[in-house]
Amino acid sequence: MGNRINFLDIPYERGQTHPGLKYSSEYFKRYLDQSSLYTSLDFKFKKGHHEPDHWSYKKVYSELDLNNFKLEFYQSAFEQLNTIYAECKPMVNWGGDHSIAIATVTAFLNYFPEGYVIWIDAHADINIPASSLTGNLHGTPASFLLNIDNIGQRQIPWTKHFLSPQRLIYIGLRDLDPFEEDLIYCLGVKVYSMKSVSELGLSYIMDEVKAYVNEAPVHVTFDIDSIDPMYAPCTGVPVPGGLDRNEILYIARQLSTAQVKSLDIVEINPLLGSKEDLEKTFSLALEFLTELYVTEKRSFHERSYTANSV
């Protein structure tokens, strides 16, 4: 591996109900010690606001509820990410819950406004607060990023660029609310559900994804619950029928290291599950990273992009 990789811990966990996500990176580092990936990582530490303890977790059923949620924590992460992007290195953002995508994707779009986001997840995370059945913020970040009903303009005014629905690609969906299903259809977002994976096969899907993004920069936001809980059980909202170990590693091999400018890994909770469950979940996350960044492979294309701040 020739390039260094920046690794930022974003331990925000109040977007969901289970405490423990803020310890995830500490546990993961134990698995890195013997890995070929370890020597390539430059560890960064998030500066600024200290995220409140999980006891202050709040439900979000309206935008008024967001006033008590303190979205400035996400702005703080966004600002540090902007600084790190200036180093022009690949970026790994370790969560935390999936609400961190509010910061990570906006930072990616700040440098690559024409980039694509590949969202690997059991859930679409595209509810707005008023449509949420759970009141959990980790089920809403895509709506902020897409500026649904102008929620992004109102709630995350620090970003210069919102995500176009045509530049979002879902892989692994299998648990959507009715609001999300209707919205995704109306927006025309490209979706490869687990039904599609079963019917079309990942080889066909990844060939189509590569042709679709062409040579553009890519941000991957990878929720561990995209994987079947048989292979990655340590997560707060497990959904049966997900990707298996071979499938998620195939996706990693097919992604171009040169084009993937940043990657989120979220929702791995070390306080959920047995010692064996932890071994399965963290080891598979490490395998995914290794396949993406260390294993020798061809890129999508010969040309690669250099970050230019917008």
Please provide the average confidence, as pLDDT, over all residues in the chain: 90
pLDDT at residue 53, rounded to an integer: 65
List Cα–Cα distances, 226 to 170, 192, 266, 271, 277, in angstroms. Answer: 10, 12, 10, 19, 16
Share of the chain above pLDDT 90, in %: 80
Domain-embedded: residue 302: no
Domain-embedded: residue 120: yes
Does 168 have pLDDT greater than 70? Answer: yes
pLDDT in tens, 88-136: 999 999 999 999 999 999 999 999 999 999 999 999 999 999 999 999 9
Confidence of residue 49 (pLDDT cuts 50, 70, 90): very low
Catalytic residues: 98, 121, 123, 125, 138, 223, 225, 267
pLDDT in tens, 213-236: 999 999 999 999 999 999 999 999
Q: What is the DSSP letter of 51?
A: P
Does 298 have pLDDT greater than 70? Answer: no
Helix (H) or strand (E) holding 123: none
Give dist(CA 95, CA 101) in Å, integer.
Answer: 9
Confidence of residue 305 (pLDDT cuts 50, 70, 90): very low
Domain-embedded: residue 191: yes
Pick from 64, 73, 80, 81: nearest CA to 99 = 73
Domain-embedded: residue 309: no
Give dist(CA 113, CA 122) in Å, integer.
Answer: 26
Domain-embedded: residue 231: yes
Domain-embedded: residue 279: yes
Domain-embedded: residue 157: yes
Backbone angles phi, psi at 189, to 5 degrees: -70, 140
Confidence of residue 27 (pLDDT cuts 50, 70, 90): very high
Q: What is the DSSP letter of 34?
A: T
What is the number of structural domains in the chain? 1
Helix (H) or strand (E) holding 171: strand 168-173
CATH code (residue 55): 3.40.800.10
List Cα–Cα distances, 55 to 61, 64, 235, 252, in angstroms. Answer: 18, 20, 19, 36
pLDDT at residue 288, rounded to an integer: 97
Taking every pair of Cα atoms in the chain, the longest distance, rounded to a whole number of angstroms, is 49
Q: Which two tokens stand for residue 300?
A: 């999508």
List Cα–Cα distances, 36 to 32, 39, 290, 293, 295, in angstroms. Answer: 8, 7, 8, 10, 10
List Cα–Cα distances, 95 to 12, 28, 113, 261, 291, in angstroms. Answer: 7, 11, 23, 17, 20
Q: What is the DSSP letter of 68?
A: T
pLDDT at residue 36, rounded to an integer: 81
Domain-embedded: residue 242: yes
Give dist(CA 295, CA 292) in Å, integer.
Answer: 7
Which structural domain, as residue segments, surrounds residue 51? 5-293
Does 302 have pLDDT greater than 50? Answer: no
pTM, to two decimals:
0.93
